[in-house]
């Protein structure tokens, strides 16, 4: 992991930025204004989104000395699999439009193959999930479901995810309707409504059976059908429905309240995913990292995934210290795709991992268990 740093010390500087601020500046130049607004923007005046990243600064870790942290083990266990690193790529529905190499989600999956960082593929992908899964090679991945209102279509997406070998079904709870996003309204930029990110949907046999004519012949009608079937409102009673339809581990994305975490754990879900969707869905909320400790308490022994506002290796280590089992990277890898395709995203992930690894070395945390034992304090 320290290859990037060691090469830098000997004068071989990396091609892409190693910090979020410079990365975002590069992405701002690489993306069209409307796409940049869609990715960079959030809900309302974006206060919650900004708090997500800012709140990491009021958590701090205390180093331990006289510990042999010469070699570090960053691996974690999740769903019975050992992953080499504690980070994963969060589902992002615009990869299809973003990637500089025009490979979209395929590029994200390739970054996963290059780094061993699992990719959670979004329902809203510009490539059929079968192709995305294949591009990830040996690195296991997850599938994120926006549950359609049409049960047969939901079943089809779930069984496809199972058939291609995804290791978990991540059910997003907070986006059955899109939040109030002024930047999108001001720039008429909803990629879904232009069919830009719907190829995974359009390739689905059940979805196609709902149409009079295939999406290739009548894209407007296909987009209309997508809009009509998108966004089932889920309640706790639906957990059984999912259980009866898949053997995949179930992950609930968007849980932020202690009682919701406890309820999910009581119902036997396999992991809880604490996230406020990067501040894109609701404004006026609490920074996600500040909600994590309470969610972890509510979850008991159920693993907790986390995202929203993670921008660096030290953010990753803090989230682990506060009880996350694995930490999702969102906007940073997408900016990596924007500036350098699969290689750019892989570089961003490797930089974040290298920083986390070096921090663990310096702080005397040779393992993730040591990180958790050290914890983080509110400053």
| Residues placed in the known binding site for glyoxylate | 38, 181, 277, 280
Q: How far apart are CA 269 and CA 252, in angstroms?
A: 8
In the complex with ligand FNR, which residue's Cβ is closer, 156 or 308?
308
Whole-number minimum distance, CB 99 to ligand FNR, in Å?
A: 12
Q: How far is CA 177 from the centre of its chain?
A: 19
> Between residues 330 and 344, which has the closer beta carbon with respect to ligand FNR?
330
Q: What does the alpha-carbon distance between residue 81 and residue 246 come to, in Å, rounded to a whole number?
A: 18
CA–CA separation, 64 and 78 (whole Å): 27
DSSP string, 93-138: TTHHHH-TTS-THHHHHHHHHHH---BEE-SS-SS-HHHHHHHTTT
* Residue 275 engages ligand FNR in binding (rule: CB under 6 A): yes
Q: Among 17, 104, 215, 309, which residue sits at the site for ligand FNR (rule: CB under 6 A)?
A: 309
Work out whether 127 is an interface residue with ligand FNR (CB under 6 A): no
Among 100, 144, 189, 312, binds ligand FNR (CB under 6 A): 144
DSSP 130-190: HHHHHHTTTS--EEEE---SSHHHHHHHHHHHHHTT-S-EEEE-S-SS----HHHHHHT--
Q: Binding mask 328-347 vs ligand FNR (x if CB under 6 A, - otherwise)? A: --xx----------------
* Interatomic CA distance for residues 112 and 107, integer angstroms: 9
End-to-end C-alpha distance for the chain, whole angstroms: 30
Annotated binding-site residue numbers: 38, 91-93, 122, 144, 146, 172, 181, 253, 275, 277, 280, 307-311, 330-331
- By C-beta, is 83 or 143 nearer to ligand FNR? 143
The number of residues in the chain equals 379
Cα 366 from chain centre:
26
Residues 329 and 349: beta-carbon distance below 8 Å: yes
Q: Does 94 bind ligand FNR (CB under 6 A)?
A: yes
Tally the C-alpha atoms within 13 A of residue 235's C-alpha that lie toward its C-beta: 1
From 308, 314, 325, 351, residue interacting with ligand FNR (rule: CB under 6 A): 308
Site for ligand FNR in 217-246 (CB under 6 A): none
Tokens representing 143? 């599938």
Helices 288-299 and 313-321 sit at what angle, rounded to 10 degrees? 30
Among 204, 260, 307, 355, binds ligand FNR (CB under 6 A): 307
Q: How far is CA 107 from CA 27, 122, 284, in A?
A: 16, 13, 34
6 φ, ψ to 5°? -65, -40
- For ligand FNR, the closer CB: 17 or 91: 91
In the list 61, 78, 90, 109, the residue contacting ligand FNR (rule: CB under 6 A) is: 90
- Bind-site residues for FMN: 91-93, 122, 144, 146, 172, 253, 275, 307-311, 330-331
- Helix ranges, the chain (H): 3-9, 20-30, 33-40, 47-54, 95-98, 105-115, 129-135, 151-163, 182-187, 199-202, 205-209, 219-229, 238-245, 258-266, 288-299, 313-321, 331-363, 368-374
Site string for ligand FNR, 148-187 (x = CB under 6 A): ------------------------x---------------
**Is there a catalytic annotation at residue 277?**
yes
Stretch that binds ligand FNR, among 57-65, 213-221, 233-241, 273-281 (CB under 6 A): 273-281
- Residues of span 34-63 touching ligand FNR by CB under 6 A: 38-39, 52
Q: Which of 47, 58, 277, 347 is catalytic?
A: 277
Contacting range for ligand FNR; rule: CB under 6 A; set: 3-11, 227-235, 307-315, 340-348: 307-315
Nearer to ligand FNR, 170 or 359 (CB): 170
Cβ distance to ligand FNR smaller for residue 53 or 296: 53
Catalytic residue set: 277
Where on the chain is the footprint of ligand FNR (CB under 6 A)? 38-39, 52, 90-94, 122, 124, 144, 172, 253, 275, 277-278, 280, 307-310, 330-331
């Amino acid at each position: 992991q320290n290859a990037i740093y060691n090469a830098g010390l000997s004068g071989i500087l990396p091609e892409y930025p190693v910090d979020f601020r410079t990365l975002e500046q590069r992405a701002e130049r690489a993306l069209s204004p409307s796409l940049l607004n869609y990715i960079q923007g959030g809900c309302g005046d974006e206060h919650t989104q900004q708090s997500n990243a800012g709140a990491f600064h009021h958590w701090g870790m205390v180093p331990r000395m006289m510990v042999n942290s010469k070699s570090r083990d960053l691996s974690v266990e999740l769903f019975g699999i050992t992953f080499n690193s504690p980070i994963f790529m969060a589902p992002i529905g615009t990869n299809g439009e973003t990637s500089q190499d025009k490979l979209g989600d395929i590029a994200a999956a390739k970054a996963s193959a290059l780094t061993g960082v699992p990719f959670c593929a979004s329902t809203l992908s510009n490539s059929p999930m079968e192709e995305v899964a294949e591009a990830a090679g040996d690195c296991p991945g997850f599938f994120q479901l926006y549950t359609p209102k049409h049960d047969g279509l939901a079943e089809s997406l779930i069984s496809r995810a199972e058939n291609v070998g995804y290791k978990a079904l991540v059910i997003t709870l907070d986006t059955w309707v899109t939040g109030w996003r002024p930047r999108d309204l001001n720039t008429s930029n909803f990629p879904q409504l232009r069919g830009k990110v719907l190829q995974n949907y359009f390739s689905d046999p059940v979805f196609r059976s709902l149409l009079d004519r295939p999406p290739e012949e009548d894209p407007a009608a296909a987009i209309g059908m997508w809009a009509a079937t998108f966004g089932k409102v889920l309640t706790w009673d639906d957990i059984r429905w999912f259980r009866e339809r898949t053997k995949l581990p179930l992950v609930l994305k968007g849980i932020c309240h202690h009682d919701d975490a406890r309820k999910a754990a009581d119902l036997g879900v396999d992991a809880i995913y604490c996230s406020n969707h990067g501040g894109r869905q609701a404004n006026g909320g609490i920074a996600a990292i500040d909600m994590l400790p309470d969610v972890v308490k509510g979850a008991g022994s159920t693993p907790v995934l986390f995202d929203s506002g993670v921008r660096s290796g030290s953010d990753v280590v803090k989230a682990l210290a506060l009880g996350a089992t694995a930490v999702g990277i969102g906007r940073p890898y997408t900016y990596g795709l924007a500036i350098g395709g699969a290689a750019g995203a892989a570089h961003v992930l490797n930089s974040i991992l290298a920083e986390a690894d070096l921090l663990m070395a310096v702080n005397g945390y040779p393992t993730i268990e040591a990180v958790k034992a050290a914890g983080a304090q509110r400053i």
